Amino acid sequence: MDDARDKGLTLNPKYDDNGLITAVVTDVATGDVLMVAHMNAQALALTIETGLAHFWSRSRQSLWKKGETSGNMLQVCDLRIDCDQDAVWIKATPAGPTCHTGARTCFFRRISAEGLSRVDAAD
């Protein structure tokens, strides 16, 4: 255990071999999980600086300001880092649907023994 990283108050993200940390985004009003993405050091710094969520797109290999083209930005209300500083939790106010499919959250399907089913926003 790295006591300075695990217990200290100095931001020292532990990026993986690709230079990324996981970011979990929840709706500050409802607590619903909106999305999971990844951040590199630049995305984290821009998120802290601007108060708008930025990520690293692994598929496009580029920096991504959430909602830049759709207008559905994520206003950061609270930004936390976990104990070993390899994941962040963003509590945000979404400006619209979070998912690229137009769904409010990326987690709009439930898995069961019968397969997948769509989840209503209230579920």
Binding site, annotated residues for Mg(2+): 82, 84, 86
Buried b (16+ CB within 10 A) or exposed e, 38-68: bbbeebbebbeeeebbbbbeeeeeeebbbbe
Among residues 83, 86, 75, the alpha carbon closest in space to that of 26 is found at: 75
Q: Which amino acid is at 8?
A: G
Cβ neighbours of 111 (radius 10 Å): 8
Q: Which residues are annotated as a binding site for Zn(2+)?
A: 83, 99, 106
Residue 35 · residue 54 · CB < 8 Å: no
Q: Which residues are documented as binding site?
A: 82-84, 86, 99, 106
Q: Which amino acid is at 51?
A: G
